[in-house]
Amino acid sequence: MLKIGSHVSFSDKGLISATAEATSYGSSSFMIYTGAPQNTRRKPIDSMNIEQGKLDMQAANIEEIVVHAPYIINLGSYKENTYELAVEFLQEEIRRTHAIGVKNIVLHPGAFTDKDAEYGINRIAEGLNEVLNGVKETDVNIALETMAGKGTEMGRSFEELASIIDKVERNDRLTVCMDTCHIHDAGYDIVNDLDGVLQKFDSLVGLDRIAVVHINDSKNPLGAGKDRHTPIGSGYIGYDTIHNVVHHPLLQGRPFILETPWIGKNAKTQRPMYEIEIALLRGDVAGRFGEGFLGEVELLGQFYKKQDIDPKSYVLDVWNVLKNDAKAKKLDPREPLERLFDLITEANLFTNHSEEEINKLIIAWLAQA
């Protein structure tokens, strides 16, 4: 069974609410933070409803989930206070991950800030050694995430990941989380040469180290180094490539996790597209949404065709305008999905549908067009 899901919230009910949210999207896996990713405040482990959550997971046929470490952890920092906090807090997060029964905790390797890449590699490896030596009682692996290359963050190349791993004594406890948006933005052409990219990763790091795959489209062109996610099919990577990643024979058995942004006209109406994205990638749109949904997608396609809109070229043309033409961006800053949504509402199509329902139709049309 394809292990696919999304990032879900971890609220007062802990694993119970996380499982319920994931199930509502049709997930067979999911990823959580054990608390807010931007701070160190954490509730006691015994308040996380782990046992009941595991029973709920079993009932939903969810076997493997993933934990993501907080963003505030920076093992690459030269500042002693920041570094020591990163080591101690990551150790505590690993213990919490172990208590939940999760095998991999995803970690952004770190940033070298005012130093250089060589310092960053050595400092991160030093931190990982210290962290792993302090949590020998657990069997949790640290999954180093491939990064997009913005700022001074490390892990932006396969070579950097390999160098960090080579310097860690207990590197059997290190795995990798491959992020499609990140490696695209870092310059790896998964659109035209996915097999070649995987071959290069295998030669430098080893495909056997990949434990998790984040599946996200990108708002930016190849090599931009920006790290800006967008729902699948609405960016430079495109649905076909994401589908090829999820179903690639060399990546099977791993959990595939969506981190695509919620969309909507404003913050109050924004909703995730996880349910339709999962159904598309699993090939079960009719089973999840019904034949009527597919009929509406076809009607949507006919409407856009009359507007002389080709989905792939339209999406990229809009992103290119927003990227290259500051005046045009100021006059009309709407992103592709928002423009496509506005065309529908202006034509008074699907007037009985909510904004979320229309956006799901657009995502399906982008994937099938």
Give the residue ranges of the annotated binding site: 68, 108, 145, 179, 182, 214, 227, 229, 259
Strand partners, 271: 263
Q: Specify the 3-state DSSP secondary structure of 275.
A: helix
Q: Specify the 3-state DSSP secondary structure of 5.
A: strand
Closest CA to 72 of 55, 57, 92: 92
Angle formed at CA 156 by CA 153 and CA 157, multiple of 5 degrees: 145
User: Residue type for 72, please?
Assistant: I
Angle formed at CA 100 by CA 99 and CA 101, multiple of 5 degrees: 90
Strand partners, 19: none
First to last CA, the chain: 26
Which residues, 6+ apart, have CB-to-CB distance to 26 below 8 Å?
A: 275, 278, 279, 282, 284, 288
> Phi and psi of 258, rounded to 5°?
-80, 135
Which residues, 6+ apart, have CB-to-CB distance to 124 below 8 Å?
A: 75, 76, 109, 110, 154, 164
User: What stretch of H or E contains 321?
Assistant: helix 311-324
Which residues, 6+ apart, have CB-to-CB distance to 53 below 8 Å?
A: 14, 15, 16, 18, 19
Closest CA to 251 of 180, 328, 322, 308: 180
Which residues, 6+ apart, have CB-to-CB distance to 84 below 8 Å?
A: none
Strand partners, 153: 111
Q: Which segments are annotated as binding site for Zn(2+)?
A: 68, 108, 145, 179, 182, 214, 227, 229, 259
CB 2 within 8 A of CB 246: yes
Q: How far apart are CA 304 and CA 321, in angstroms?
A: 20
